[in-house]
Amino acid sequence: MSHYCHKSLILSESPLKIEGVALSAKILIVEDEPAIQELLCFNVLQAGFQALCAADADSMWLQIQNNLPDLILLDWMLPNTSGVILARQLRSQDATRNIPIIMLTARGEERDKIMGLEAGADDYITKPFSPRELLARIRAILRRHAPPIPDKMVSAGGLVLSPSSHRVTAHDKAIELGPTEFRLLHFFMTHAERVYSRTQLLDQVWGTQVFVEERTVDVHIRRLRAALEEAKMDGLIQTVRGSGYRFSVN
């Protein structure tokens, strides 16, 4: 079985290939339904990204081993497994921990959405989706995961965050964080003692993208607190009723 999307082979041989495509982000599409895989692949390529495809968990891991993607589009329902399980596995391994994940699902219920995000996904899109929305979300996440964090060590309240090594330690003990929690914590540590609303946090941490819901902030705050809890530092992230959240060392 080819590990590349059928269409990517066609387009990569095309003389009309847009310059810079070779340097563009690699999107791994994990989807078992051929028609949807092809549609995703087509749209991803059209937007100038590279597309890699997998139809099950084994081929996903093989793809990752061969060619580390910049973002993963992960279907919820896969043969013998689920995107939620795979998202957790991706988040638990060093090589894949920081690769952003967008979950794809036919289930639009709120609790599924929360479950996907809690498993480690960065965003969530419901089938049938509009290609425009999908690409906007991909771009937003890639932008969010792109360099903008200044490469300067930050410390506050016993935590030390190093953007260059993407590590956080609490009293010299490593704390495992997903990419969004890492950015969120970096923002908080560099803006301590001030209250930020969910909208402000979305703008500052997620970028000015309209697609992310405010509830998403709460999910990531919960994940951040859970990660800090082991070091008994979850109290650094305070809920300010009716206003938002604050990072406070006091």
Maximal C-alpha separation, the chain: 61
> Which residues within the stretch 57-76 sit at the binding site for Ca ion (CB under 5 A)?
75
Q: Which is nearer to Ca ion, 73 or 99 (CB)?
A: 73
Least distance from Ca ion to the Cβ atom of residue 39, Å: 13
Q: Does 32 bind Ca ion (CB under 5 A)?
A: yes
Q: How many residues bind Ca ion (CB under 5 A)?
A: 3
Least distance from Ca ion to the Cβ atom of residue 36, Å: 7
Q: Which is nearer to Ca ion, 40 or 168 (CB)?
A: 40
Convert 1-25 into a string of H (helix), E (strand) and C (coil): CCCCCHHHHHHHCCCCCCCCHHHCC
Using Cβ positions, the residue closest to Ca ion within the complex turns out to be 77
Least distance from Ca ion to the Cβ atom of residue 170, Å: 39
Q: Which is nearer to Ca ion, 75 or 122 (CB)?
A: 75
Least distance from Ca ion to the Cβ atom of residue 104, Å: 8
Q: Does 56 bind Ca ion (CB under 5 A)?
A: no
Tell which residue, 29, 45, 51, 201, has the closest CA to residue 101. Answer: 29
Q: Which is nearer to Ca ion, 77 or 142 (CB)?
A: 77
Q: Which is nearer to Ca ion, 81 or 209 (CB)?
A: 81
> Which residues within the stretch 75-94 sit at the binding site for Ca ion (CB under 5 A)?
75, 77
Least distance from Ca ion to the Cβ atom of residue 83, Å: 8
Least distance from Ca ion to the Cβ atom of residue 82, Å: 9
* CA separation, residue 112 to residues 84, 125, 235 (Å): 10, 11, 28
Q: Which is nearer to Ca ion, 77 or 192 (CB)?
A: 77
Q: Which is nearer to Ca ion, 77 or 136 (CB)?
A: 77
Least distance from Ca ion to the Cβ atom of residue 105, Å: 9
Count of Cβ atoms closer than 10 Å to residue 27 Cβ: 25
- In DSSP notation, 112-177 reads HHHHHHHTT-SEEEESS--HHHHHHHHHHHHHHHSS-S-S--EEETTEEEETTTTEEEETTEEE--
Sheet with 244-247, side-by-side order of all strands = 195-196, 244-247, 237-240
Long-range contacts of 6-14 (CB under 8 A, 24+ apart): 6/38, 6/41, 7/38, 7/41, 7/42, 7/45, 7/51, 8/41, 8/45, 8/50, 8/51, 8/52, 8/53, 11/45
Site residues for Ca ion per CB under 5 A: 32, 75, 77
